[in-house]
């Protein structure tokens, strides 16, 4: 039985590197080089869709090193499924994205050893940014936005990172759960951490007390509870596997796989689409990346292939623009060549459909939770507003009356004498915008954790949906 060398004495590494993983990892399987945690507590379904449109629109530019991008507001709304011309909503959603915290943990920040040799220890590098750095919403025109240099680097190759909600880390109830999670999460794509000596696992988990010298005690009080915590609270599932030497447990590895959960990014689906022949043909004809992804994702590969054949037969001067028009209008029919490729396209369609169905189920669960959260917040707003003194009520009204981007909303709010109790008299758009602002101000000042963060609301004991 092969054995790994014991950890060197002195400063202990916070993370380990298994020595017995395959020398060459098959294509499509790679170790994540870091974790990206997003504070998704207040982000709803539309936030996620808008952000994915922003990323798809920026895909090529990110590869070229750019960080500033523009997209027509009408295209942003169409691709996100937002059937409205309400620019205030786009403005407020972009502002929420700009204010959303992103924390990073990079595993591969190694310090050099003596003589230029790599050090044995791995020092994780932690940092932070926001989903977007800045934005402008030009009514009737375009949306300009940019990513910080750190965020642009993360988005350029998102599959190298594990993306998850920032609140996951706060769910863990012990240091053993958190340490096991951090040491297993980067091996999701590989499937296993590889075997390490029991003593090395004790070191990285922080269970080196004499209490755990006997394996049965270590297993009962550390390994089993930590694995149960990771499996029940995070986006991965871990299963330990033991190796014996002289009838004693000598080494441990954890098999690791993804525990599907609603993600901020659709980069896995988009990666599949970008590798299909229909996408490549549409791009070669001049169709924008974000539009090609949208129609293949929503209409299917066969639909786009039909439109491609139609445009090829017409041979227009501007094939990219003509193709976009054909896709929106449903022109074209299957050619003989495309019928011959239908079987391959159907296989890819089933793969994408399975991914979409999983996402839809998770989205339905998330939307139900968001509806409960919205009802809870509305009830809290009514309670808080009723209990405000005159001075504090005036402060709240002043706070929500500034920075109203739509003149008609500002005028109607003034016509209501800035009275929150009269909001039911307002038009639907004004009622929604000013109601959201009132909610944000009241709960930011006097709300509890479960009023502000949907994950805290869930943890507080909302019924399963």
| Cβ atoms of residues 381 and 443 within 8 Å | yes
CA 230 – CA 67 distance, rounded (Å):
36
Helices assigned H by DSSP within 315-453:
319-329, 336-340, 342-386, 390-400, 407-415, 428-446, 449-452
pLDDT of 146 above 90: yes
| Cβ atoms of residues 40 and 457 within 8 Å | no
The residue-averaged pLDDT of 84-92 equals: 84
**What share of the chain in percent tops pLDDT 90?**
22
Residue 301: what pLDDT?
87
pLDDT of 430 above 60: yes
CA 255 – CA 287 distance, rounded (Å):
42
| Cβ atoms of residues 139 and 74 within 8 Å | no
The residue-averaged pLDDT of 438-461 equals: 85
CA 384 – CA 322 distance, rounded (Å):
55
The residue-averaged pLDDT of 276-283 equals: 92
Residue 243: what pLDDT?
93
CA 231 – CA 168 distance, rounded (Å):
12
The residue-averaged pLDDT of 186-195 equals: 81
Residue 3: what pLDDT?
35
Report pLDDT digits (tens) over 33-44: 666 767 656 677
CA 453 – CA 232 distance, rounded (Å):
20
Range picked from 72-81, 158-167, 277-286, 399-408 for highest mean pLDDT? 277-286
Least confident of 89-98, 205-214, 345-354: 345-354
Please give the helix or strand (H or E) that residue 196 lies within, else none.
Answer: strand 196-197
Domains of the chain, by residue range, sit at 12-169, 172-265, 267-340, 360-459
CA 430 – CA 413 distance, rounded (Å):
8
Find tokens 């038009």 and name the residue.
Answer: 427
Fold designation for 172-265? Arc Repressor Mutant, subunit A (1.10.10)
Residue 136: what pLDDT?
92
254 compared with 333, residue with greater pLDDT: 254
Residue 112: what pLDDT?
47
pLDDT of 335 above 70: no
Residue 261: what pLDDT?
54
**What share of the chain in percent tops pLDDT 70?**
77
Give the model's confidence band at 47: pLDDT under 50 very low, under 70 low, under 90 confident, else very high. confident
CA 327 – CA 331 distance, rounded (Å):
7
| Cβ atoms of residues 202 and 248 within 8 Å | no
Mean pLDDT computed over every residue of the chain:
79
The residue-averaged pLDDT of 393-421 equals: 90
Please list, in sequence order, all residues whose beta carbon lies within 8 angstroms of the beta carbon of residue 342, skipping any fewer than 6 positions away.
302, 334
CA 16 – CA 4 distance, rounded (Å):
12
The residue-averaged pLDDT of 243-248 equals: 90
Least confident of 151-165, 315-329, 445-459: 151-165
| Cβ atoms of residues 265 and 237 within 8 Å | no
pLDDT of 325 above 50: yes
């Amino acid at each position: 039985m092969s054995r790994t060398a014991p950890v060197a004495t002195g400063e202990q590494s916070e993370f380990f590197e298994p020595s017995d993983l395959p020398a060459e990892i098959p294509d499509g399987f790679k170790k994540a080089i870091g974790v990206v945690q997003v504070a998704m507590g207040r982000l709803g379904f539309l936030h996620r869709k808008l952000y994915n449109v922003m990323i798809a629109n920026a895909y090529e530019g990110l590869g070229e090193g750019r960080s500033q991008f523009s997209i027509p507001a009408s295209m942003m709304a169409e691709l996100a499924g937002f059937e409205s011309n309400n620019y205030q909503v786009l403005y407020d959603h972009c502002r929420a994205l700009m204010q959303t915290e992103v924390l990073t943990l990079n595993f591969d920040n190694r310090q050099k050893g003596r003589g230029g040799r790599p050090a044995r220890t791995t020092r994780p590098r932690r940092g932070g940014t926001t989903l977007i750095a800045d934005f402008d919403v030009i009514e009737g025109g375009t949306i300009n936005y940019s990513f910080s240099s750190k965020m642009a680097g993360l988005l350029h190759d998102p599959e190298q990172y594990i993306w998850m909600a920032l609140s996951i880390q706060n769910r863990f109830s012990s240091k053993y759960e958190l340490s096991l999670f951090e040491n297993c999460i980067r091996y999701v794509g590989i499937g296993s951490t590889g075997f390490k000596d029991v003593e090395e696992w004790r070191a990285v988990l922080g269970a080196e007390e004499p209490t755990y010298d006997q394996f049965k005690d270590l297993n009962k009080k550390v390994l089993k509870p930590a694995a149960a915590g990771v499996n029940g609270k995070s986006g991965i599932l871990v299963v330990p596997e033991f190796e014996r030497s002289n009838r004693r447990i000598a080494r441990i590895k954890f098999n690791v796989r993804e525990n599907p959960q609603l993600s901020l990014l659709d980069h896995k689906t988009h990666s599949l689409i970008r590798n299909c022949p229909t996408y490549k043909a549409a791009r070669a004809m001049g169709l924008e990346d974000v539009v090609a992804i949208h129609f293949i994702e929503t209409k299917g590969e066969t639909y786009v292939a039909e439109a491609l054949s139609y445009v090829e037969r017409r041979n227009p001067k501007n094939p990219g623009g003509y193709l976009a028009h054909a896709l929106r209008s449903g022109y074209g029919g299957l050619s003989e060549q495309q019928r011959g490729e239908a079987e391959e396209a159907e296989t890819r369609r089933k793969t994408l459909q399975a991914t979409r169905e999983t996402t839809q189920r998770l989205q339905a669960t998330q939307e139900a939770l968001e509806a409960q959260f919205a009802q809870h917040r509305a009830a809290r707003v009514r309670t808080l507003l009723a209990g405000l003194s005159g001075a504090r009520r005036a402060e709240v009204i002043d706070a929500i009356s500034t920075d109203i981007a739509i003149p008609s909303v500002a005028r109607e709010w003034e016509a209501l004498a800035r009275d929150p109790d009269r909001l039911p008299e307002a038009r639907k758009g004004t009622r929604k915008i000013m109601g959201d602002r009132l909610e944000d101000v009241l709960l930011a000042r006097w709300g509890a954790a479960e009023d502000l963060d949907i994950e805290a609301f869930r943890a507080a004991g909302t019924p399963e949906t």
